[in-house]
Structure 1
């Protein structure tokens, strides 16, 4: 009985812990929303180390791709916009400016292996938000938010591919990347939304024309289903975009909603209002749970197959639905109840990590799903901040207080380019050629000196200079002889002498055998033992290569040299006395 009570007590404590560690969010209280948002933002930034010494600003650590860092900076801009807390403004500006690339269009060289049109588009949308929300402008000598957004748009407009599927952007920018033959909806949605927002901000009709063209292409390819207003993932060019990938991801419809809301605000036309309302109705497929009002990534959450990228998709649907309300106020009553319910559900399940408040992916069951990451944290933060939409100012335009400086011709050399830039080599100058010649001569001299050292005979009484002269003279003579043909004659004569010598030896051996003596006879000069005398020992030692590391002629001390001589003389005298006796 006591054991049962003990287990029950532990269970109650765990349950109480689950209840007390989750955020107690009051969506109707701005103070509560800001307090929870502050903690969520801190936990989001804990995944980022690009602002630390030795790391690269604007990059998240593995396993996150470059594009998600740009999306995260968009969330931090939203955080400042909704809460007024500028804690992360410097971090955000540093990241956004560090990754602009050489032509200020978010095509840095270090991302050529993975960058797609959608990746570039997310960075462009983030700086567009910075311009619309009047995020602090960069210094005058740095690229400006509006100009960066325009440069991204210009480079993408030049990639509009009419050769395949009669239009649309490819998923990938560079030809070798997997997906270059695929036209995905998120690339079109980013381009569409960016064009619509630029049209609204600048009043330039050309941006609006591109937005119209993109919308028409999405309808023509049936990537937007006009029966249920689903937005499908994409289509391949090998079938001329007639075979669709029918998966629905939340950020696809979110991007189209964002662009449609901006176009409606700009034109105030019934056409765009109807399109927006239809898309909004289609987005309700992403709200599930007991009351079908909790946001869910339906393509992967229920089967637990969401990858790292997909963990973040709800953040963008939330962000863009919330922005929509500012440009199309009539949508507030339609969508805000869904956002409100989702924010409460999201806050309740943030119970993970060492701090017991990290957020997971699944919101609709109120339980923490044991996952953490940048995407999960961004989504929870965005849905929480959506409760502040009525307390925030409206996005600005160039005519309503916008301060960001634009550049309609931004993009430079990257416009229309689908191959990365090669190495940036400087032109070869006369000074470069002179330096190369000097280095070449030094290398040759080093080789010559090294060869001379190799051929130097340390046992020779001649000095190095004399040896080198002798070697050079011998080599020159040999070359001259060979060149004159004498080499062949000398070789032939040497061969004849060797043959005659061998012949004489054979004759001598034969004569000895004919006299009846054996090969082992003492008269055979080849069988007599060779006596080794002290003189021959000293001579052989002198002719061998010195093995010691001591200098030639050592020892140099006269007293030591004399002692050696005396020792040798004494040994010789002793040997002579013994022979006489």
Structure 2
């Protein structure tokens, strides 16, 4: 039963009729982009293939972790995909691994900062788990066990811990990429970290009605524009270097940067009845949407423009199209005027993805290059499966009710003060040991051992 995914009326017929052709190659996934049952069936096949990479629910394994070579953050992103999968399909077979995995990874202060991840923990990594928790609250996903922190409180903990890291002393504001000063990348303010903070603030503002979150979202968006992470023509660069006061930037563009800001703006647009604010966010949203064309080859099929044509996408980058697909789907839910363009892009991209899910021994393993004509590119993994899953199930987004708020269908318990512990905010929480720490520890150990032996010798005498 998909009661929580209640349909709403939508101009679904706007998807070009030419795309209604059923895709079928060998034993490839069958997909008719205009048929709900076909989309759900395709999503089920791809979700199964994705979850097969996850072993956190097996004896001796760690819940909430994917095996090497995947970084910790991607499991949080995968759980977000499975939350929407349940919402759109009604299939709850993966719900328990999501709940168990997320509860296991909340860490101290319930802010998704587990101690064993400190050596590579970025603000963006933490935020993807917070966004998954926010999705669970908005979608009405089954609540965590009684006595555990609830979905809304977990999202608030992430947001609060990051708000305390806002740093006006360099670049005039913004979040650094890494949380801990000793981590590689601490001297960089990247677009995805700040985009996630903006995005999460916009979602919390809409869900709770608390203006403070909206103020933070506006502040973050304005800073991102002013510092040049978002250019005048609405390109989203990768980030700015702190030593240059963010004047030196990496200009590369990634799909998820555009997606995170696009959907954040959609939440801001959907959450205001002020005529001036509505007009402003509609204008920004339209300009951002138009700029996403760079990620659609020939204005049709989504591709990772910075690496995909060259075969150089790394493990992380091979999942980025998943998030642009997800965020475009929710944008179409929240801002009707974006529907036609978004759904045309997603339908053509989903068609391309289905034509390339022909790899492996089962002939249903998804590749990463949707622009190839009925040809598997030989790549496979969590990122490829998740990207296909997200583009398939995002086709359903306009047919279903948008995200809940606390005043509508939301029932998750919040905690406005969650994640406000001083250590977790300052970046001093469980910091990785430095060489100096190790040398000092060795010296103290030697000194203690010498004193112990000396005292024993004196007692013997």
TM-score bracket for this pair, using the shorter chain length: 0.7 to 0.9
CA distance in 2, matches of 1:266, 1:295: 29
1:408 corresponds in structure 2 to 416
Q: Secondary structure at the match of 1:21?
A: coil
The 8 Å contact of residues 160 and 418 in structure 2, kept in 1 or not, is answered as yes
Match of 1:174 in 2: 180
Aligned to 2:153: 147
Of 356, 360, 373, 1:349 maps to 356
Q: Structure 1: how far apart are the matches of 2:372 and 2:352? A: 8
Q: Deviations over 1:453-509 (max 9, x none)?
A: xxxxxxxxxxxxxxxxxxxxxxx9xxxxxxxxxxxxxxxxxxxxxxxxxxxxxxxxx
Aligned to 2:246: 241
2:119 to 113, 117, 131: 113
Match of 2:429 among 420, 433, 436: 420
Give SS of 2:70's match.
Answer: coil
Structure-2 residue corresponding to 1:374:
382
User: Which position in structure 1 is the counterpart of 2:195?
Assistant: 189
Aligned equivalent of 1:315, options 322, 328, 332:
322
Contact 1:156 1:415 in 2 (8 A): no
For residues 277-299 of structure 1, the C-alpha deviation after alignment (integer angstroms, 9 at most, x for no partner) is 110011111000xx421000000
1:563 maps to none
Q: Which residue of 1 aligns with 2:9?
A: none
Partners in 2 of 1:381 and 1:91 — Cα distance? 18
After TM superposition, give the deviation of residue 140 of structure 1 in Å. Answer: 2.0
3-state DSSP of counterpart to 1:416: helix
Report what 2:62 is aligned to.
Answer: 56
2:391 is aligned with 1:387 = no
2:36 maps to 30
Tell me, yes or no, if the aligned pair for 1:25 and 1:344 is still in contact at 8 Å: yes
Q: Is the 8 A contact 2:262 2:331 kept in 1?
A: yes
Q: Could you say which residue in structure 2 is the equivalent of 1:232?
A: 237
SS of 1:208's equivalent? helix
Alpha-carbon distance between aligned partners in 2 of 1:71 and 1:277, rounded to the nearest angstrom: 26
- Give the total of aligned pairs: 411
Q: Tell me how far apart the structure 1 counterparts of residues 230 and 25 of structure 2 sit (CA, whole Å).
A: 42
Q: TM-score by structure 2 length?
A: 0.87
Cα deviation code 1:509-540 (max 9, x no counterpart):
xxxxxxxxxxxxxxxxxxxxxxxxxxxxxxxx
Question: Is contact 1:195-1:208 (8 Å) kept?
Answer: yes
Please point out which of 283, 295, 298 is paired with 1:274.
Answer: 283
Distance 2:168 2:425 in 1: 13
The equivalences for 1:90-169 within 5 A come to 90-169=96-175
- RMSD, matched Cα: 1.9
Deviations 1:70-91 (A, max 9, x none): 0000000010011111010001
| Distance (Å, rounded) in 1 between the aligned partners of 2:402 and 2:189 | 34
Selected match of 2:371 from 364, 370, 379: 364
| Distance (Å, rounded) in 2 between the aligned partners of 1:144 and 1:275 | 33
Gaps of 5+ in 2: 1-23, 433-451
Q: CA deviation at 1:158?
A: 0.2
**Unpaired segments ≥5 residues, structure 1:** 1-17, 424-439, 449-475, 477-581
Distance 1:35 1:422 in 2: 45
Larger radius of gyration: 1
The partner residue of 2:47 within 37, 41, 44 is 41
Match of 2:268 in 1: 263
Report SS of the residue matched to 2:340: helix
Residue 390 of structure 1, CA deviation: 2.9
Deviations 1:254-284 (A, max 9, x none): 0001110000001141001100111001111
Q: Check whether the contact 1:219–1:225 (CA below 8 A) recurs between aligned residues.
A: yes
Return the offset for 1:389.
Answer: 1.6
CA distance in structure 1 between the partners assigned to 2:430 and 2:312 by the alignment: 37
CA contact (8 A) 1:81 1:392 kept: no
Find the residue that maps to 2:332 and give its secondary structure: helix
Q: What is the CA–CA distance in structure 1 between the aligned matches of 2:372 and 2:171, rounded to whole Å?
A: 42
Cα distance in structure 1, aligned partners of 2:216 and 2:431:
31
Distance 1:195 1:25 in 2: 36
| Bigger relative contact order (CA 8 A; separation at least 6) | 2
**Which stretch shows the higher mean deviation, 131-140 or 412-421?**
412-421
Q: Is the 8 A contact 1:154 1:415 kept in 2?
A: no
Aligned partner of 2:440 in structure 1 is none
* Contact kept in structure 1, 2:180 and 2:431, CA below 8 Å: no
The answer to whether 1:339 aligns with 2:346 is: yes
Q: C-alpha separation between the residues in 2 aligned to 1:34 and 1:422?
A: 44
Tell me the distance in 2 between the aligned counterparts of 1:126 and 1:272. 24
Q: CA deviation at 1:415?
A: 4.5
Which residue in 1 is equivalent to 2:435?
none
Residue in structure 2 matched with residue 220 of structure 1 by the alignment: 226
Structure 1 residues 181 and 80: CA distance shift in structure 2, 3 A: same
Q: What SS does the aligned partner of 1:235 have?
A: strand
